[in-house]
């Protein structure tokens, strides 16, 4: 093992250097549209994404920084999709931010630092690195939520996010400190060895796992640690809501796998029970609460809680009767679910930004009324996103749900089969509120009869976004194989 190996952290070095450069360059930009800053930021994200994809294709697992960092296919693949999520978010956000006096250097610099935090979390092989990446990401997001300083609702959302986020970070840190106390190491592989070898302090370990799972559940937005999601999603500017709902979800999935699977799989009997409870609560609360919502951003927030519940079910079905034969299938299905969910979320919130205009937030469901008459193409694209979230074929969301259900049923354990049936029933309930959005778009009369205008780059990216959700539903094999390859390599090391 090379003690430092800077090659493994090239993407993070590029991101850090360019984030600082973007902050400096923006000081000299007089263009109110911030074009130099915007294009420099997008170029940086694109280059980092390509580097991660090249590393993923190499298929190598490299340790660096004295074993504190691991550059493996799982981290590279999720980092690639995190870069896509951030890049697409900024394309959708530019016209939205420009009409709200948010188009400042801070938007781009903090987005890069947030992405850097995500990258650090994805490469973490040590408890300290996990926490370092987590804090870098969340502190950037706290500041972004409060970017509209004169907007009371955004400021309130930032305060709630900050206070509850600090509480969750405390939970996670307390849990990790207990794991350190019980195992004597902060390195995830060492923790795995101690637990697998029969750790002497089993009660302390289980107590630590409870706090770790609570902290992870908050970052995922799973019930009953979901209380921040609806308020922050609704209160934050839509561009920032999308930054929170995109790449950070992939980072939360990654650290859940790193900590619970790679580090504490010897305690799977304990943490899988906790995940099952979180998943069921998330599916019930998310789907039932969303039915009552009239605000589209709040509806999508409760939808996120339900979607995370479905993904957690995949994570909870990896170890059956103390054997890990179904682990690769379960975790790769959950990873596929996380990636396709983020792609769908990008389009859903992107459409809200597209419909918004100066002085008006198009965040109520009624604001979509008659969209099919104003812009049939965008109505069709939004329908694809709603179908995907509902799990209706031939979209990516359908195959993602099918993959998770198949992973649960293939365990042949009555509990998991029952959970799969319950998940299907709750998804059917959830389909109601997605179909209501489609009904409003196609059958209600528009309040604004003007044709929908959008910048060319937004139209192009939105179209590609919609087609990607459709293609991954019709031809999911390629992405599923990449996820399986990434998980197998992660479990092997």
Tokens 């130099």 locate to: 36
Q: What is the 3-state secondary structure (H, E, C) of 117-158?
A: HHHHHHCECEHHHHHHHHHHHHHHHHHHHCCCCCCHHHHHHH
**Residues 6 or more apart whose Cβ sits within 8 Å of residue 127:** 176, 179, 180, 186, 187, 188
CB 262 within 8 A of CB 192: yes
Q: Report d(CA 289, CA 296) in Å as an integer.
A: 13
Distances (CA, A) of 466 to 252, 453, 454: 24, 18, 16
What pLDDT is recorded for position 481? 92
Does residue 211 belong to any structural domain of this protein? Answer: yes
pLDDT of residue 1: 43
Assessment of whether the complete model's pTM goes beyond 0.85: yes
Phi, psi of 294 (to 5 degrees): -110, -20
Specify if 20 maps to a domain: yes
Give average pLDDT by consecutive 10-residue segment, the chain, 493 residues: 71 92 89 88 94 90 88 92 94 87 87 94 92 93 87 87 90 92 89 80 85 91 87 90 91 92 86 92 92 90 92 88 81 93 93 78 83 88 92 91 92 90 90 90 79 83 93 91 90 78
- Examine residue 363 and state whether it is found in any structural domain, yes or no: yes
- Over its C-alpha atoms, the chain yields an Rg (Å, rounded) of 21
* CB of 74 closer than 8 Å to CB of 486: yes
For 422-489, the DSSP string reads HHHHHHHHHHHHHHHHHHHHHHSPPS--SPPP--HHHHHHHHHHHHHHHHHHHS-HHHHHHHHHHHHH
The span from the CA of 104 to the CA of 395, in Å, is 36
Residue 1 in any domain: the answer is no
Q: Per the domain annotation, does 142 fall within a domain?
A: yes
Q: What pLDDT sits at residue 3?
A: 60
End-to-end CA distance of the chain: 13
Q: How far is Cα 219 from Cα 201, in angstroms, rounded to an integer?
A: 27
Distances from the Cα of 323 to the Cα of 78, 317, 402, 411, 479, angstroms: 26, 11, 23, 11, 26
In a domain, 312, yes or no: yes
355, two tokens: 């419909």
Q: Which of 271, 275, 281, 126 is nearest to 207 (CA)?
A: 271
Q: Is the dihedral of CA 458, 451, 33, 147 positive or negative?
A: negative
Helix or strand or coil: residue 357?
Answer: strand
Domain count, the chain: 1
Yes or no: say if 469 and 385 are a contact pair by the CB < 8 Å rule.
yes
> Where in the sequence is the domain holding 100, given as residue range(s)?
6-492
| Token digits of residue 40 | 């420099």
Q: Is residue 267 part of a domain?
A: yes
Contact call for residues 491 and 268 (beta carbons, < 8 A): no
CA–CA distance, 235 with 295 (Å, rounded to integer): 11
Q: Is residue 27 part of a domain?
A: yes
SS3 label, residue 323: strand
| Residue found under tokens 């195959």 | 399
């Amino acid at each position: 093992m090379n003690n430092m190996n800077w090659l493994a952290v090239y993407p993070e070095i590029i991101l850090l250097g360019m984030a600082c450069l973007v902050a400096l360059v923006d000081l000299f930009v007089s263009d109110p549209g911030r074009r130099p800053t915007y294009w420099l930021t997008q170029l940086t994200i694109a280059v980092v994404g390509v580097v991660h994809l090249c590393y993923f294709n190499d298929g190598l697992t490299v340790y660096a920084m004295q074993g504190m960092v691991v550059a493996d296919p799982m981290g590279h693949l999720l980092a690639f999709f995190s870069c896509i999520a951030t890049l697409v978010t900024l394309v959708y956000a530019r016209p939205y931010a420009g009409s709200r006096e948010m188009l400042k250097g801070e938007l781009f610099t903090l987005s890069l630092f947030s992405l850097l935090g995500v990258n650090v979390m994805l490469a973490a092989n040590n408890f300290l690195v996990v926490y370092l990446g987590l804090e870098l990401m969340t502190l950037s997001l706290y500041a972004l939520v409060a970017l509209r300083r004169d907007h009371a609702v955004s400021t309130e959302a930032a305060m709630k996010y900050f206070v509850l986020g600090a509480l969750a970070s405390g939970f996670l840190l307390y849990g990790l400190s207990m794991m350190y106390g019980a195992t004597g190491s902060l390195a995830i592989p060492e923790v795995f060895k101690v637990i697998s070898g029969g750790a002497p302090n089993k009660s302390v370990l289980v107590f630590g796992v409870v706090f770790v799972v609570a902290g992870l559940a908050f970052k995922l937005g799973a019930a009953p640690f979901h209380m921040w999601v609806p308020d922050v999603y609704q209160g934050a500017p839509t561009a920032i809501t999308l930054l929170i709902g995109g790449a950070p979800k992939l980072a939360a999935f990654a650290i859940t796998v790193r900590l619970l699977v790679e580090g504490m799989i010897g305690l799977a009997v304990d943490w899988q029970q906790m995940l099952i409870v979180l998943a069921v609560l998330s599916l019930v609360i998310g789907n039932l609460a969303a039915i009552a919502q009239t605000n589209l951003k709040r509806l999508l927030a409760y939808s996120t809680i339900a979607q995370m519940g479905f993904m957690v079910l995949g994570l909870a079905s990896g170890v059956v009767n103390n054997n890990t034969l179904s682990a690769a299938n379960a975790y790769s299905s959950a990873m596929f679910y996380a990636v396709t969910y983020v792609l769908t979320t990008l389009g859903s919130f992107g459409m809200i930004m597209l419909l918004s205009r100066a002085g008006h937030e198009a965040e109520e469901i009624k604001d979509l009324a008659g969209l099919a008459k104003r812009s049939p193409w965008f109505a069709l694209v939004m329908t694809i996103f709603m179908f995907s979230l509902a799990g209706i074929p031939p979209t990516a969301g359908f195959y993602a749900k099918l993959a998770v259900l198949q992973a649960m049923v293939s365990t042949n354990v009555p509990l998991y089969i029952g959970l799969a049936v319950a998940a299907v029933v709750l998804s059917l309930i959830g389909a109601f509120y997605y179909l209501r959005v489609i009904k409003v778009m196609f059958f209600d009369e528009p309040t604004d009869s003007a044709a929908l205008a959008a910048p060319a780059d937004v139209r192009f990216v939105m179209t590609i976004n919609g087609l990607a959700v459709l293609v991954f539903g019709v031809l999911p094999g390629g992405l599923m194989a990449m996820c399986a390859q990434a998980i197998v390599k992660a479990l092997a090391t």
